[in-house]
Chain A
Amino acid sequence: IAGITQAPTSQILAAGRRMTLRCTQDMRHNAMYWYRQDLGLGLRLIHYSNTAGTTGKGEVPDGYSVSRANTDDFPLTLASAVPSQTSVYFCASSLYGTSGTDTQYFGPGTRLTVL
């Protein structure tokens, strides 16, 4: 079934620990995105990638890193988690990344709690 998968579904993490959130899509989309969603705020872009091998910073990149070794996978790493990174993380993908008609499709999300 075509779509985006994320893992884990949820995670409780001790502050200071390293964590990688996984995202895989099988739609052969060029562009992928990581957002965080917090209560009362809109989705905020963390990092994005318009094609394999390239990445860019979004609105809130500090404390996060990404890589895009191939078309399908776009992992997000928290090098040393802090409580303010408690959030729901959504991965998304779109066909082009540089087109106004480009619709983004979302994965099911990862709920992360940092204690």
Chain B
Amino acid sequence: GQNIDQPTEMTATEGAIVQINCTYQTSGFNGLFWYQQHAGEAPTFLSYNVLDGLEEKGRFSSFLSRSKGYSYLLLKELQMKDSASYLCAVMNSNYQLIWGAGTKLIIKP
């Protein structure tokens, strides 16, 4: 079957760094996406990885290791507005996104 695993909830302090991990098993691989979803709102696109390595975009970075079926999202200089759920999704061989259940990130002052 197809499976995406990520922690249910994480807590971090304002100004700190947090790493959210995602492991996956899918039928084929056409890229890995990270989305942010604030409570009661729609998911919004954060990053895309298809090759191994780190993609940096401002305070957010995303890493991929295809051989390990592993990705992480790194958030630096945390702000209160970063409190949200972070969704990991893998595009399979049918170009369909398989989604993890999301990691709820709680930022404390």
Contacts and interface: CB of A to CB of B under 8 A. Distances in A.
Interface string A93-110: 000011111111111110
A104 B31 CA distance: 13
B34 to A, nearest CB: 11
Interface stretch (A13-21, A40-48, A79-87): A40-48
A58 interface: yes
Interface stretch (B11-19, B58-66, B67-75, B91-99): B91-99
A90 interface: yes
Contact of B42 (A42, A45, A58, A106): A106
A107 B101 contact: no
Contacts of B95: 97-100, 102
B87 interface: yes
A64 B95 CA distance: 21
Interface size class of B (residues with CB under 8 A): 20 to 34
B30 A100 contact: yes
A108 B31 contact: no
Chain A interface main SS type: loop
B50 A101 contact: yes
A99 B45 CA distance: 16
Interface centre among A44, A97, A103 (most CB of B within 10 A): A103
B105 interface: no
A42 B87 contact: yes
A100 B15 CA distance: 34
A38 B43 CA distance: 14
Interface in A50-97: 58, 90, 97
Given A90-B42, A90-B43, A100-B95, A43 B48 contact: no
For the complex of A and B, the 6 pairs showing the least CB-CB separation, nearest first, are A42-B99, A100-B30, A106-B42, A43-B99, A100-B31, A42-B101
Interface of B: 4, 30-31, 33, 41-45, 48, 50, 87, 89, 91, 95-102
